Amino acid sequence: MGSRVSIWIEAARPKTLWAAVSPVLIGIALAFSNGVEHIPSAILALVGAMLIQIGTNFYNDLADFDKGADTDERLGPRRVVHSGLVSRSGMKTATMLTFGLAVVSGGYLMVRGGWPIVLIGICSIVFGLLYTGGKYSLAYLGIADVFVLIFFGPVAVAGTYFVQSLTWPWPIWVVGIVPGLLAVAILLVNNIRDREQDAAVGKNTLIVRTSRAFGLTMYVGCVAFSAGVVLFLWLVSGFTPWILLALLAYPMYREPIRLLRTVPESEGHLLNAALAMTARNLLIVSVLFAVGIILGRL
């Protein structure tokens, strides 16, 4: 029983969940700082975001297996369907069940928030399926980065704020750019590591369509621009200097940048460390950002 649980935990890819959790934490902090927090909605938004991310990861495992993208030469963490640890039908059932639970958990939010939340929920699940599924999947077309920025950034932050306050002033959308860009950085590390394998199976990610060097430039740009948005919010949008706490975490990106610059393509598995660091850094930036937002109210 324990081994089966560990397999499903592995399939859920826990480290990627920080990308789903981080913008929700910021949205909750924003609502609290403005005195419009609504705890039940905040909890359900967090649960729903995690379930959608897990469902997407499950379907990604299944879809990449069906398309032959997962091979024995895979450099990233193993995929459970390709490894024979979970059957194709079992993963399909788990995907449907997880997305179904996401809909159930979001039912109250849809009633409370109305059509905007219904639309966000539908789009989040549809694009989660389209990430690797279908003939024109986002990852295989090389446009997944745009959707990661949107849905793990402004949409997640503004949606979390909206289900609590039933409003979404424009600064909330700008705040969402901070975690959104750092979520794109996670995807960039993944795609830089897998560039050769992706190209061989026709998975034309942005890095396959451009180059590893372009990917590194984008990574540095995402991190730098994200920090710039924090400064912009302090200088222009009325946030207190407490939000600058988030900037304390940005030096932590130096090590993954070093790895991306120095690890040769033939040793791409070493970039798994950069991937883990990038996911961790997103969480730390977001927690410090959220703390700074809250302290600005006190």
Q: What is the rounded distance in angstroms from the CA atom of residue 275 to the CA atom of residue 188?
A: 9
44 CB burial (10 A radius; 0-12, 13-18, 19+): buried
List, for residues 85-134, the tens digit of each pLDDT value. 888 899 899 999 999 999 998 899 999 999 999 999 898 888 888 877 76
Q: What is the rounded distance in angstroms from the CA atom of residue 108 to the CA atom of residue 24?
A: 17
Is the distance from CB of 75 to CB of 68 less than 8 angstroms?
Answer: no
The pLDDT value recorded for residue 222 is 97
pLDDT at 75 over 90: no
Q: What is the rounded distance in angstroms from the CA atom of residue 215 to the CA atom of residue 223?
A: 12
The pLDDT value recorded for residue 1 is 47
Is the distance from CB of 227 to CB of 250 less than 8 angstroms?
Answer: yes
The pLDDT value recorded for residue 72 is 58
What would the mean pLDDT of 220-227 be, rounded to a whole number? 97
Is the distance from CB of 238 to CB of 109 less than 8 angstroms?
Answer: no
List, for residues 151-164, the tens digit of each pLDDT value. 999 999 999 999 99
Calculate the CA 66 to chain-centre distance: 23
Q: What is the rounded distance in angstroms from the CA atom of residue 103 to the CA atom of residue 108?
A: 9
Q: How confident is the model at residue 283 (pLDDT cuts 50, 70, 90)?
A: very high
The pLDDT value recorded for residue 71 is 62
Which structural domains are found in the chain, ordered by start? 2-295 (1.10.600)
The mean pLDDT of the chain is 89
Q: What is the rounded distance in angstroms from the CA atom of residue 226 to the CA atom of residue 219?
A: 11
- Residue 279 exposure: Cα atoms within 13 Å on the Cβ side: 17
Q: How confident is the model at residue 76 (pLDDT cuts 50, 70, 90)?
A: low
List, for residues 273-282, the tens digit of each pLDDT value. 999 999 999 9
List, for residues 176-211, the tens digit of each pLDDT value. 999 999 999 999 998 999 888 888 878 888 999 989
pLDDT at 28 over 80: yes
Q: Is 243 helix (H, G, I), strand (E, B) or coil?
A: helix
List, for residues 49-65, the tens digit of each pLDDT value. 999 999 988 888 888 77
pTM of the predicted structure, to 2 decimals = 0.92
Rg over alpha carbons for the chain, rounded to the nearest Å, is 19
Q: What is the rounded distance in angstroms from the CA atom of residue 133 to the CA atom of residue 121?
A: 18
